[in-house]
Protein backbone atom coordinates (compact mmCIF):
# COMPACT_ATOMS: atom_id res chain seq x y z
CA UNK A 1 0.00 0.00 0.00
CA UNK A 2 1.71 3.20 -1.17
CA UNK A 3 -0.69 5.69 0.45
CA UNK A 4 -1.03 4.97 4.17
CA UNK A 5 -2.81 8.15 5.23
CA UNK A 6 -5.46 7.66 7.89
CA UNK A 7 -7.35 9.69 10.46
CA UNK A 8 -6.76 9.22 14.19
CA UNK A 9 -10.21 7.69 14.57
CA UNK A 10 -9.49 5.25 11.71
CA UNK A 11 -6.33 4.14 13.52
CA UNK A 12 -8.21 3.50 16.74
CA UNK A 13 -10.93 1.62 14.84
CA UNK A 14 -8.25 -0.96 13.93
CA UNK A 15 -7.44 -1.60 17.60
CA UNK A 16 -9.33 -4.15 19.67
CA UNK A 17 -10.16 -4.68 23.33
CA UNK A 18 -7.43 -6.50 25.21
CA UNK A 19 -4.60 -5.55 22.84
CA UNK A 20 -1.08 -4.77 24.00
CA UNK A 21 -0.39 -1.23 22.79
CA UNK A 22 2.99 0.52 22.98
CA UNK A 23 3.05 4.31 23.24
CA UNK A 24 6.22 6.05 22.07
CA UNK A 25 7.82 9.21 23.39
CA UNK A 26 9.38 9.77 26.78
CA UNK A 27 7.63 11.20 29.83
CA UNK A 28 6.06 14.44 28.66
CA UNK A 29 8.00 14.56 25.39
CA UNK A 30 6.72 13.77 21.90
CA UNK A 31 3.83 11.60 23.03
CA UNK A 32 1.17 10.54 20.47
CA UNK A 33 -1.45 12.54 22.34
CA UNK A 34 -3.90 13.02 19.44
CA UNK A 35 -4.03 9.23 19.05
CA UNK A 36 -4.43 8.84 22.82
CA UNK A 37 -7.32 11.32 22.73
CA UNK A 38 -8.88 9.26 19.94
CA UNK A 39 -8.69 6.21 22.22
CA UNK A 40 -10.44 8.22 24.94
CA UNK A 41 -13.31 8.91 22.50
CA UNK A 42 -13.60 5.23 21.62
CA UNK A 43 -15.17 2.26 23.45
CA UNK A 44 -11.78 0.49 23.64
CA UNK A 45 -11.03 -1.13 26.99
CA UNK A 46 -8.84 -3.66 28.78
CA UNK A 47 -5.63 -2.50 27.13
CA UNK A 48 -2.16 -3.57 28.18
CA UNK A 49 -0.20 -0.34 27.77
CA UNK A 50 3.60 -0.30 27.39
CA UNK A 51 5.16 3.11 27.87
CA UNK A 52 7.92 5.31 29.17
CA UNK A 53 4.93 7.01 30.64
CA UNK A 54 3.67 10.55 30.79
CA UNK A 55 0.21 12.08 30.43
CA UNK A 56 -0.65 9.34 27.93
CA UNK A 57 -0.76 6.93 30.86
CA UNK A 58 -2.53 9.42 33.11
CA UNK A 59 -5.36 10.11 30.67
CA UNK A 60 -5.88 6.45 29.81
CA UNK A 61 -5.92 5.62 33.52
CA UNK A 62 -8.47 8.36 34.15
CA UNK A 63 -10.71 6.90 31.46
CA UNK A 64 -10.41 3.33 32.76
CA UNK A 65 -8.85 2.05 29.53
CA UNK A 66 -5.91 0.17 31.10
CA UNK A 67 -6.01 -3.37 32.44
CA UNK A 68 -2.20 -3.68 32.80
CA UNK A 69 0.59 -1.12 32.57
CA UNK A 70 4.16 -2.10 31.68
CA UNK A 71 6.36 0.90 32.40
CA UNK A 72 9.79 2.23 33.19
CA UNK A 73 8.44 5.40 34.84
CA UNK A 74 5.47 7.75 34.63
CA UNK A 75 6.40 11.43 34.83
CA UNK A 76 5.45 14.82 33.44
CA UNK A 77 9.14 15.83 33.53
CA UNK A 78 8.72 19.34 34.97
CA UNK A 79 6.14 17.80 37.35
CA UNK A 80 7.58 14.64 38.94
CA UNK A 81 4.51 12.38 38.82
CA UNK A 82 1.40 12.20 36.72
CA UNK A 83 -1.39 12.75 39.27
CA UNK A 84 -3.86 10.32 37.70
CA UNK A 85 -1.25 7.56 37.71
CA UNK A 86 -0.39 8.40 41.33
CA UNK A 87 -4.07 8.30 42.35
CA UNK A 88 -4.55 4.89 40.74
CA UNK A 89 -1.43 3.42 42.40
CA UNK A 90 -2.12 4.92 45.81
CA UNK A 91 -5.69 3.64 45.76
CA UNK A 92 -4.44 0.17 44.82
CA UNK A 93 -7.05 -0.25 42.12
CA UNK A 94 -7.59 0.39 38.46
CA UNK A 95 -5.01 -1.85 36.75
CA UNK A 96 -2.21 -4.33 37.27
CA UNK A 97 1.38 -3.22 36.77
CA UNK A 98 4.65 -4.63 35.51
CA UNK A 99 7.20 -2.18 36.89
CA UNK A 100 10.55 -2.29 35.11
CA UNK A 101 13.36 0.25 34.97
CA UNK A 102 14.29 2.13 31.80
CA UNK A 103 16.94 -0.37 30.74
CA UNK A 104 14.86 -3.49 31.31
CA UNK A 105 11.92 -2.05 29.37
CA UNK A 106 14.21 -1.13 26.48
CA UNK A 107 15.75 -4.60 26.48
CA UNK A 108 12.31 -6.21 26.31
CA UNK A 109 11.39 -4.02 23.33
CA UNK A 110 14.74 -4.82 21.67
CA UNK A 111 14.11 -8.55 22.02
CA UNK A 112 10.68 -8.21 20.41
CA UNK A 113 12.08 -5.99 17.67
CA UNK A 114 14.67 -8.67 16.84
CA UNK A 115 12.08 -11.47 17.07
CA UNK A 116 14.00 -13.08 19.92
CA UNK A 117 12.36 -14.73 22.95
CA UNK A 118 14.58 -12.76 25.33
CA UNK A 119 17.77 -10.73 25.56
CA UNK A 120 20.38 -10.64 28.35
CA UNK A 121 21.23 -7.40 30.12
CA UNK A 122 22.94 -6.07 33.23
CA UNK A 123 20.08 -3.60 33.75
CA UNK A 124 17.90 -4.38 36.74
CA UNK A 125 20.44 -6.57 38.54
CA UNK A 126 20.85 -5.64 42.18
CA UNK A 127 17.67 -3.55 42.13
CA UNK A 128 14.05 -3.94 43.22
CA UNK A 129 13.13 -4.87 39.64
CA UNK A 130 13.76 -8.54 40.47
CA UNK A 131 11.79 -8.30 43.70
CA UNK A 132 8.84 -6.65 41.97
CA UNK A 133 8.96 -9.08 39.03
CA UNK A 134 9.55 -12.61 40.35
CA UNK A 135 8.77 -13.98 36.88
CA UNK A 136 12.12 -12.64 35.61
CA UNK A 137 14.99 -15.10 35.35
CA UNK A 138 18.75 -14.79 35.23
CA UNK A 139 21.04 -16.56 32.81
CA UNK A 140 24.75 -17.33 32.99
CA UNK A 141 27.03 -16.47 30.10
CA UNK A 142 28.16 -19.67 28.29
CA UNK A 143 31.59 -18.12 27.71
CA UNK A 144 34.68 -17.96 29.92
CA UNK A 145 33.47 -14.93 31.87
CA UNK A 146 30.47 -16.87 33.26
CA UNK A 147 28.70 -13.60 34.09
CA UNK A 148 25.19 -13.78 35.47
CA UNK A 149 22.79 -11.58 33.48
CA UNK A 150 19.11 -10.76 33.57
CA UNK A 151 17.14 -12.55 30.82
CA UNK A 152 14.40 -10.10 29.80
CA UNK A 153 11.46 -11.63 27.89
CA UNK A 154 10.40 -10.01 24.63
CA UNK A 155 7.79 -7.27 24.97
CA UNK A 156 5.68 -8.09 21.93
CA UNK A 157 3.18 -5.42 20.96
CA UNK A 158 -0.01 -5.80 18.96
CA UNK A 159 0.21 -2.14 17.98
CA UNK A 160 2.55 0.82 18.50
CA UNK A 161 1.51 4.47 18.41
CA UNK A 162 4.29 7.04 17.98
CA UNK A 163 4.46 10.75 17.14
CA UNK A 164 7.17 12.21 14.93
CA UNK A 165 7.85 15.61 13.41
CA UNK A 166 7.50 14.78 9.71
CA UNK A 167 6.31 11.88 7.60
CA UNK A 168 5.30 11.16 4.05
CA UNK A 169 2.13 9.42 2.85
CA UNK A 170 4.00 6.14 2.45
CA UNK A 171 4.97 5.92 6.12
CA UNK A 172 8.58 7.10 6.14
CA UNK A 173 8.86 9.16 9.32
CA UNK A 174 11.39 11.62 10.70
CA UNK A 175 12.32 13.14 14.04
CA UNK A 176 13.87 16.60 14.12
CA UNK A 177 14.47 17.02 17.83
CA UNK A 178 17.49 16.02 19.94
CA UNK A 179 16.43 12.45 20.74
CA UNK A 180 14.67 9.58 18.96
CA UNK A 181 13.75 8.13 22.36
CA UNK A 182 12.82 4.47 21.73
CA UNK A 183 10.24 5.01 19.01
CA UNK A 184 11.98 2.76 16.49
CA UNK A 185 11.96 -0.12 19.01
CA UNK A 186 8.24 0.37 19.67
CA UNK A 187 7.63 0.28 15.91
CA UNK A 188 9.69 -2.85 15.29
CA UNK A 189 8.32 -4.66 18.35
CA UNK A 190 4.74 -4.27 17.09
CA UNK A 191 2.63 -6.21 14.64
CA UNK A 192 1.38 -2.85 13.38
CA UNK A 193 2.80 0.63 13.89
CA UNK A 194 0.82 3.84 13.45
CA UNK A 195 2.60 7.19 13.18
CA UNK A 196 1.12 10.59 13.82
CA UNK A 197 3.17 13.51 12.52
CA UNK A 198 3.11 17.26 12.78
CA UNK A 199 3.14 17.52 9.02
CA UNK A 200 3.03 15.19 6.02
CA UNK A 201 5.44 16.23 3.29
CA UNK A 202 6.66 14.86 -0.07
CA UNK A 203 9.25 12.11 0.37
CA UNK A 204 12.07 14.19 -1.11
CA UNK A 205 11.47 16.94 1.43
CA UNK A 206 12.31 14.65 4.34
CA UNK A 207 16.03 14.88 3.63
CA UNK A 208 16.30 18.26 1.90
CA UNK A 209 17.26 20.11 5.09
CA UNK A 210 17.84 17.30 7.59
CA UNK A 211 20.36 14.42 7.65
CA UNK A 212 19.35 10.96 6.47
CA UNK A 213 19.92 9.70 10.02
CA UNK A 214 16.83 11.63 11.11
CA UNK A 215 14.66 9.18 9.14
CA UNK A 216 13.77 7.05 12.12
CA UNK A 217 11.12 4.81 10.54
CA UNK A 218 10.80 3.46 7.04
CA UNK A 219 7.57 2.60 5.28
CA UNK A 220 8.23 -1.12 5.79
CA UNK A 221 7.55 -0.82 9.53
CA UNK A 222 4.60 1.62 9.36
CA UNK A 223 1.02 0.54 8.72
CA UNK A 224 -0.68 3.94 8.87
CA UNK A 225 0.23 7.62 9.11
CA UNK A 226 -1.85 10.51 10.41
CA UNK A 227 -1.22 14.23 9.95
CA UNK A 228 -1.88 15.81 13.35
CA UNK A 229 -0.62 19.39 13.80
CA UNK A 230 0.05 19.90 17.53
CA UNK A 231 -0.70 16.20 17.90
CA UNK A 232 1.76 15.83 20.77
CA UNK A 233 0.21 18.67 22.81
CA UNK A 234 0.60 19.25 25.69
CA UNK A 235 3.87 17.37 25.56
CA UNK A 236 6.76 18.73 23.51
CA UNK A 237 7.55 18.11 19.84
CA UNK A 238 10.85 19.98 19.52
CA UNK A 239 11.69 21.87 17.32
CA UNK A 240 8.06 22.43 16.30
CA UNK A 241 7.03 23.45 19.82
CA UNK A 242 7.98 22.94 23.42
CA UNK A 243 5.92 21.54 26.25
CA UNK A 244 2.88 23.65 27.12
CA UNK A 245 3.84 24.10 30.75
CA UNK A 246 0.86 26.29 31.63
CA UNK A 247 -1.62 23.76 30.27
CA UNK A 248 0.27 20.89 31.87
CA UNK A 249 0.00 22.60 35.26
CA UNK A 250 -3.74 23.01 34.64
CA UNK A 251 -4.04 19.32 33.78
CA UNK A 252 -2.08 18.28 36.87
CA UNK A 253 -4.06 20.52 39.19
CA UNK A 254 -7.33 19.22 37.75
CA UNK A 255 -6.20 15.60 37.95
CA UNK A 256 -5.34 16.00 41.64
CA UNK A 257 -8.80 17.37 42.50
CA UNK A 258 -11.83 15.09 41.99
CA UNK A 259 -14.09 18.17 42.04
CA UNK A 260 -12.17 19.91 39.24
CA UNK A 261 -11.58 16.97 36.93
CA UNK A 262 -15.11 16.72 35.43
CA UNK A 263 -14.91 20.31 34.18
CA UNK A 264 -11.49 19.69 32.61
CA UNK A 265 -12.68 16.50 30.93
CA UNK A 266 -15.86 18.13 29.66
CA UNK A 267 -14.01 21.09 28.19
CA UNK A 268 -11.00 19.39 26.67
CA UNK A 269 -11.80 15.70 26.22
CA UNK A 270 -15.50 15.44 25.37
CA UNK A 271 -15.22 16.43 21.71
CA UNK A 272 -13.05 15.66 18.72
CA UNK A 273 -9.45 16.74 18.13
CA UNK A 274 -10.47 20.00 16.43
CA UNK A 275 -12.51 20.97 19.49
CA UNK A 276 -9.60 20.09 21.76
CA UNK A 277 -7.25 22.35 19.81
CA UNK A 278 -9.81 25.20 19.82
CA UNK A 279 -10.27 24.94 23.58
CA UNK A 280 -6.52 24.84 24.12
CA UNK A 281 -6.18 28.07 22.10
CA UNK A 282 -8.97 29.70 24.13
CA UNK A 283 -7.32 28.56 27.37
CA UNK A 284 -4.03 30.17 26.29
CA UNK A 285 -5.86 33.43 25.51
CA UNK A 286 -7.58 33.39 28.90
CA UNK A 287 -4.27 32.82 30.67
CA UNK A 288 -2.46 35.60 28.77
Domain boundaries, the chain: 8-114+155-202+213-245
Share of the chain above pLDDT 90, in %: 93
13-17, 48-52, 85-89, 104-108: which range is least confident on average? 85-89
Judge contact between 201 and 174, C-beta under 8 A. no
Per-residue confidence band for 288, with pLDDT thresholds at 50, 70 and 90: confident
Give the Cβ contact number of residue 191 at 10 Å: 12
> Residue 184 has what DSSP assignment?
H
Per-residue confidence band for 56, with pLDDT thresholds at 50, 70 and 90: very high
Pick the CATH number of 8-114+155-202+213-245 from 3.40.1080.10, 3.10.620.30, 3.30.70.360, 3.40.1670.10: 3.40.1080.10
Give the Cβ contact number of residue 265 at 10 Å: 16
- Bridge partners (DSSP) listed for residue 196: 163, 226
CB neighbour class for 239 (10 Å; exposed up to 12, middle 13-18, buried from 19): exposed
- Cis ω on the peptide bond leading into residue 128 (within 30° of 0)? no
Instruction: Indicate whether 273 pLDDT > 90.
Output: yes
| Gap between the Cα atoms of 17 and 46, Å rounded | 6
For residue 190, give the 3-state DSSP assignment.
strand
Listed in order, strand segments (DSSP E) in 75-189 are 96-99, 118-121, 137-140, 148-153, 157-167, 173-174
Per-residue confidence band for 1, with pLDDT thresholds at 50, 70 and 90: low
Average pLDDT over residues 271-283: 97
pTM: 0.96
| Gap between the Cα atoms of 288 and 286, Å rounded | 6
Instruction: Indicate whether 166 pLDDT > 80.
Output: yes
pLDDT at 93: 67
The DSSP element (H or E) to which 112 belongs, if any, is helix 102-113
Average pLDDT over residues 103-108: 98
Amino acid sequence: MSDKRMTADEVVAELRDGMTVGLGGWGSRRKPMALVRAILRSPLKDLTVVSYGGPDVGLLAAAGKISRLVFGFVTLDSIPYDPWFARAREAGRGFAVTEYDEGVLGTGLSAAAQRLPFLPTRAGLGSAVLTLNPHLRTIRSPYADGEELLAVPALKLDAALVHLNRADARGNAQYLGPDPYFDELFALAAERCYVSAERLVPTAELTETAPVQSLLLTRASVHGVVETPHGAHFTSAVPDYGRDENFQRHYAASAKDPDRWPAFADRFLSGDEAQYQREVARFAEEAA
